[in-house]
Structure 1
Amino acid sequence: MILPSLNITLIFTSYGPPGALNYGVFVISLAVYLTTVFANVTLMLVICLDTSLHKPMYIFLFNLAINGLIGSSAVLPKIMENLVDDMKDILYTDCILQVFFVNIYAICAYAILTLMAYDRYVSICKPLQYHNIMTPGKIRLLLFIVYYVPICSLAVQVYLTSRLPTCRYTINKLFCDNLTVVNLSCAKNTWVDLYGIFMVLAFIVLPLIFVILSYVRILFVSLKASQNARKKALKTCTPHLITFINFSLASLFSVIYNRFNFSLSKEVNVFMAVHFILIPPLLHPLIYGIRTKEISNSLKKILQRKILALGFNLKTEQTCNDTLFISTK
């Protein structure tokens, strides 16, 4: 048994040789990745440019878009490279970095979705106190906690994992995850296992329970409210519920992918991997763009202003050209 070295190269064995399936997945992955980047950047620009969207819910949504870009960019470029290359390998240090950013993507997404559920809870259950509770200072504090605590906790987990002695050098998956790197070691470390369980309980189970309890409370309050209030609550909560359920299903598929990879076919493994990395970051901005009236209206206004400005510039340029033509005559 030897400790990991900077020069260790790990080999992915689940890709297979370049062929029709690999090229097909590459084209789909590239198209979805580019669409994901475009959709998330567009959403972020809309929120930045429209001051009416500088509210807690949209600030959290802005951070969810950033998180989606982190998750997609941490994995997809390497996956697409391995799909078409003859040699499907990765340096051990790059694998550890990939583990770190994939875990940031997963845990911070859950944390941000939990903040969004809390915002909906305060908005519907305590509407008169909303502005006193969701102050700018509190929003900054919550976002600091959402990033600082998971990043520090994940740094400890990645450090513990990286110190395990390595005696295997093949990965039967499309990208690196913490459990895969742990299984590369022939030695079992109880502290690593216990810390992994702690991470799951603290950053996945507890947020899940909090979101469920928040929506149970929202449901009770909505049932006692008027019909119009119920419709408004349903309209504001639907995008978040769709997003949360979608990400939870993607995470569930990822757990199945990690735990039962060897009993699943290559095609199923590919689907589970790309579902976890591709689908949530793509659907989140699309869902909010379609289901949230404020965002869709803001996008329309921005586009209209840009089109009008472009038309005005073209008209001005044409007028200048006509004036120049007349003067030359």
Structure 2
Amino acid sequence: MVNSTDFPFFILSAYVDLGRLKYFCFTAVLLLYIVIVAANVFLIVLICIKRSLHEPMYVFLCSLLVNELYGSAGLFPFLLQQILSDTHTVSTSACFLQIYCLYTYVQIEFCTLAVMSYDRYLAICCPLHYNTRMTTKKVAPLFIMVVWLYSLSVLIILVLSVKLLFCGNVMNTLYCNNYYVVRLACSDTTVNNVYGIFVTILSIIVPLVLILFSYIRILRICLVGSRETRQKAVSTCSPHLTSLINFSFGCCFEVFQSRFDVSSVPASLRIFLSLYFLMCQPLFNPVMYGFRMSKIRAICKDLLCLN
């Protein structure tokens, strides 16, 4: 047995030899990354400079978009380098850094979506008390701070993984994943597995319970409310629900793929789906919210002189 520090790098074996096609893939991924950065930065700047968008709902959206940039920075530069590389290795320290970035990205994404669902619950179910319970200057920034600090629980995962004794350094994945790192261990991983389940509950189950509670209450109001109430609920909740379903689908497939045998699924489809929630969500959110939220859509039309 050897300590993890004796391995200077990990080998990512999921990459295949693309030949000259790698330059096409590199260009496509680079263009996607540029579009993602441009779309998210545009909406962040728009929300910051337009006073009409200084409301809790848009403050939470801004936090969500910042997280998209954060998660993209943890994947795309690494992916671009690996596409051009012939060795497909990553240093041990860089691998753990990527694990931290991607895991905190997922946790912040789910928690922010949970806070956004609670905000919509207050706006639709308690409209008379909304401005006192959810203020832009105090409550909204506090929620955002809690969400980002909440993600620090991932640090313990890294500390536990670094201390493991490894028998190998080959991972069948496109990017660093803590589950694959733990599978390389020769030493006891009980603590890692138990804490991993605990973090999964904190990261996914708890936010989803809050989201479910919020939407059950919203649905009840819609069933007994006026047509105007139902229209308001649909217009404000549909981007959020679509984003949640899209992200949850990608995360669930990645968890399922890493823990079960999916060799019957074509390799190209497995590669696409393993990257889906990391590559598509950062582009999906600014496009979805930009098109579906009337205030943002109206401001964009004004900026483009389409009125």
Q: Report the TM range for the smaller structure's normalisation.
A: over 0.9
Shift of 1:256: 2.2
Judge conservation of contact 1:64–1:112 (CA < 8 Å) in 2. yes
* Equivalent residue letter for 1:274: L
Shift of 1:82: 1.2
**Matches for 1:1-329 after TM superposition, within 5 Å:** 1-5=1-5, 8-19=8-19, 22-135=22-135, 136-151=137-152, 153-260=153-260, 263=263, 264-304=265-305
Q: Measure the CA separation in 1 of the matches of 2:93 and 2:81.
A: 17
Q: Measure the CA separation in 2 of the matches of 1:174 and 1:270.
A: 8
Tell me the matched-pair count.
304
Q: Measure the CA separation in 1 of the matches of 2:188 and 2:8.
A: 20
Judge conservation of contact 2:250–2:274 (CA < 8 Å) in 1. no
What SS class does the counterpart of residue 14 from structure 1 fall into?
A: coil
The 3 A distance-change label for structure 1 pair 262 and 230 is closer
* Equivalent residue letter for 1:65: L
- Stretches of structure 2 that go unaligned for 5 or more consecutive residues are none
Q: Measure the CA separation in 2 of the matches of 1:236 and 1:112.
A: 16
* TM-score, normalised with respect to structure 2: 0.94
- Stretches of structure 1 that go unaligned for 5 or more consecutive residues are 308-329
The 3 A distance-change label for structure 1 pair 39 and 112 is same
For structure 1, which segment, 54-63 or 267-276, has the greater mean C-alpha deviation from structure 2 after superposition? 267-276
Greater per-residue helix proportion: 1
Q: Sequence identity, in percent?
A: 35
Q: Measure the CA separation in 1 of the matches of 2:246 and 2:157.
A: 26
The 3 A distance-change label for structure 1 pair 254 and 22 is farther
- Measured against aligned partners, the alpha-carbon deviations of 1:14-35 in whole angstroms (never above 9, x if no partner) come to 1122326644443332222111
Q: Measure the CA separation in 2 of the matches of 1:257 and 1:27.
A: 27
* Equivalent residue letter for 2:14: S
- Measured against aligned partners, the alpha-carbon deviations of 1:255-313 in whole angstroms (never above 9, x if no partner) come to 12322366254312311222121111100000000011101112233444xx9xxxxxx
Q: Measure the CA separation in 2 of the matches of 1:12 and 1:237.
A: 40
Q: Measure the CA separation in 2 of the matches of 1:32 and 1:6.
A: 36
* Equivalent residue letter for 1:163: K
What SS class does the counterpart of residue 11 from structure 1 fall into?
A: strand
For structure 1, which segment, 267-276 or 173-182, has the greater mean C-alpha deviation from structure 2 after superposition? 267-276
For structure 1, which segment, 75-84 or 218-227, has the greater mean C-alpha deviation from structure 2 after superposition? 75-84
Please tell me whether Structure 1 or Structure 2 has the larger radius of gyration of its CA atoms: 1
* Equivalent residue letter for 2:146: I
- Measured against aligned partners, the alpha-carbon deviations of 1:58-117 in whole angstroms (never above 9, x if no partner) come to 111101111111111101211121112111110001000000000011000000000100
The 3 A distance-change label for structure 1 pair 142 and 72 is same
